[in-house]
Amino acid sequence: MSKETAKCNASFSKARLSRDPRFDGLFFIAVKTTGIFCRPICPARLPKEENVEYFHHAETALKQGYRPCFRCRPDSAPSSPAWLGVGATVNRALSLLRQLPLQKVSQIAQRLGISDRYLSKLIVNAIGISPKQYQDMQRALFAKSLIQQSELSMTDIALTSGYQSLRQLQRGVEKYCATTPSSLRKSMDVSSQGVVLFLSYRPPYNWPYVRHFLCRRAIVGVERVAEDRYERYFTLGETSGFFSAVHNPTKHGFDVYIELADLTQLYAVIQRVKHVLDLEANPLVIEDSLRQTGLPEQMLTKGLRLPSAWSVFESGCRAIVGQQVSVKAAVGQATLLAHHLGNKVTKTDKHVFFPSAASVAKSNLSFLAMPQARKNALLEFAELFTRSQCHFSNTDNSPDHSDILSIKGIGQWTLDYVKMRGERNPDVYLANDLIVRKISEKYPVNANAAAPWRSYLTLQLWQLSE
């Protein structure tokens, strides 16, 4: 055992013994005597140290023959792709493999601009299993989660998880979970209607701040923010739906209810919900980076999160209508955009879906109260998305940044906003933002010291202005 591994295991041991929820999802504990692996927060009796081994990834534990614990459900732990010391390409590859468990590995390699062989080498070196094995495990764990937490039929779960038949579902669950689908369902007391899931985060999670952030920017008729929840109507490709996320601080997560017309898109929708609420962030690492910038300790917001927009296209629309105006004015324009061009949820309903790029591109936007130059920029932005059909992608790819910047009326601030809230880039510092400039004059900061979490520094400076 290397010194680095021994040091890592010593830290994991302390976190395990204290059941520290801040380490949830950062590592997993496998018990040699039972063949089960758990999360650090598992309520089961603590095993002796000589009987455990530690893994950074649940998939690695599965490959070693361990089966997931029924009590703490390791498949429900928050993901941790970006802070385990692996490269950016590996992080993006794991993200794509997780989001697209049915897409061929060769296609994912092409998206990354690398060869199949090199992708396989990167993933094997990082987590000890092949890209295909990782995808297969993701499918099985997602199916397990649906079996245990929803009332969907086994047939619907099979299709939603990407299995072509019940037999394939049976084989996948048996192979990676060491049990049967029917046994999983019998072990749970499922009484809810529809698709109800619990999504975890690592504490601390500053829900009051997230709630305030989302409330200030909520598009009337599309989104709703209440004391303990965030709700919205959404579209994803050709399907549409609704979700409600209720904060559950006792369990460190959200109880999420989802209505969806096409259940095959459920996995992609769940990923979007995680992004909107920023559930996979590691607040301790981020806070430590912000501390290096020189901000006074008392100015740091504990449990800071960066809520993303539902899509890259929506984030761009918000950024364009928000140029040189207040947040309140920008939300007013976005609400007009939604109610004039978005489809109604029902014919008599006041609720609407955010409009597609195609519907925006076809409009003259005469109902918007803003300069014609800004309307033209919004129209060209929508046309760019319509041409590239990016809004039909479950991974929500953005057009080339150079193409976005080539649009008259779109500058670096708008692009950076899209990168930060649409593409979920954690390392964007809006240096030219009016509020950021104002607060950084009052509290001089070394922005580069916050890398690779400068988006959170931007958010922190926004928060200090309120």
For the segment 167-196, what is each residue's pLDDT rounded down to a tens digit?
A: 999 999 998 888 889 888 865 444 444 588
Q: Give the pairing type, strands 28-31 and 229-236.
A: unpaired
Q: Give the pairing type, strands 229-236 and 239-248.
A: antiparallel
State in Å, rounded, how far the first CA of the chain is from the last one.
Answer: 50
- % of residues, the chain, pLDDT over 90: 59
Residue entry with tokens 């040091």: 7
- Which band of pLDDT confidence, cut at 50, 70 and 90, is reported for residue 392? very low
The pLDDT score that the predictor gives to residue 190 is 43
The pLDDT score that the predictor gives to residue 88 is 67
Rounded Cα distance between 80 and 94, Å, is 10
On the question of pLDDT at 230 being above 90, the answer is: yes
Rounded Cα distance between 370 and 385, Å, is 22
Q: Find, among 275, 309, 313, the residue nearest to 399 by Cα.
A: 313
Rounded Cα distance between 92 and 86, Å, is 10
Tell me if the bond preceding 452 is cis, omega within 30° of 0: yes
List the single range of 55-64, 91-100, 333-342 with lowest mean pLDDT: 91-100
The pLDDT score that the predictor gives to residue 66 is 93
- Which band of pLDDT confidence, cut at 50, 70 and 90, is reported for residue 84? very low
Rounded Cα distance between 146 and 185, Å, is 9
The pLDDT score that the predictor gives to residue 59 is 87
List the single range of 23-27, 77-81, 302-306, 428-432 with lowest mean pLDDT: 77-81
Contact yes or no for 413/437 (Cβ under 8 A) = no
On the question of pLDDT at 216 being above 50, the answer is: yes
On the question of pLDDT at 390 being above 80, the answer is: no
Q: Which amino acid is at 229?
A: R
- Which band of pLDDT confidence, cut at 50, 70 and 90, is reported for residue 325? very high
Q: Find, among 414, 397, 392, the residue nearest to 317 by Cα.
A: 414
The pLDDT score that the predictor gives to residue 177 is 84
More confident residue, 111 or 66: 66
Rounded Cα distance between 289 and 286, Å, is 5
Rounded Cα distance between 98 and 60, Å, is 15
Residue 154, Cβ density class (10 Å: 0-12 exposed, 13-18 middle, ≥19 buried): middle
CB contact set of 248 (below 8 Å; sequence gap of 6+)? 198, 254, 255
Which of 56-65, 271-280, 341-350: highest mean pLDDT?
A: 271-280
The pLDDT score that the predictor gives to residue 2 is 58
Contact yes or no for 149/161 (Cβ under 8 A) = no
Indicate the average pLDDT of the chain: 89
Question: Which residues face 227 on adjacent strands?
Answer: none
Rounded Cα distance between 20 and 186, Å, is 30
The pLDDT score that the predictor gives to residue 433 is 92
List the single range of 77-81, 101-105, 228-232, 261-265 with lowest mean pLDDT: 77-81
Tell me if the bond preceding 426 is cis, omega within 30° of 0: no
Domains of the chain: 3-64 (3.40.10.10), 88-186 (1.10.10.60), 192-263 (3.30.310.20), 264-464 (1.10.340.30)
The pLDDT score that the predictor gives to residue 56 is 87
List the single range of 99-103, 244-248, 418-422 with lowest mean pLDDT: 99-103
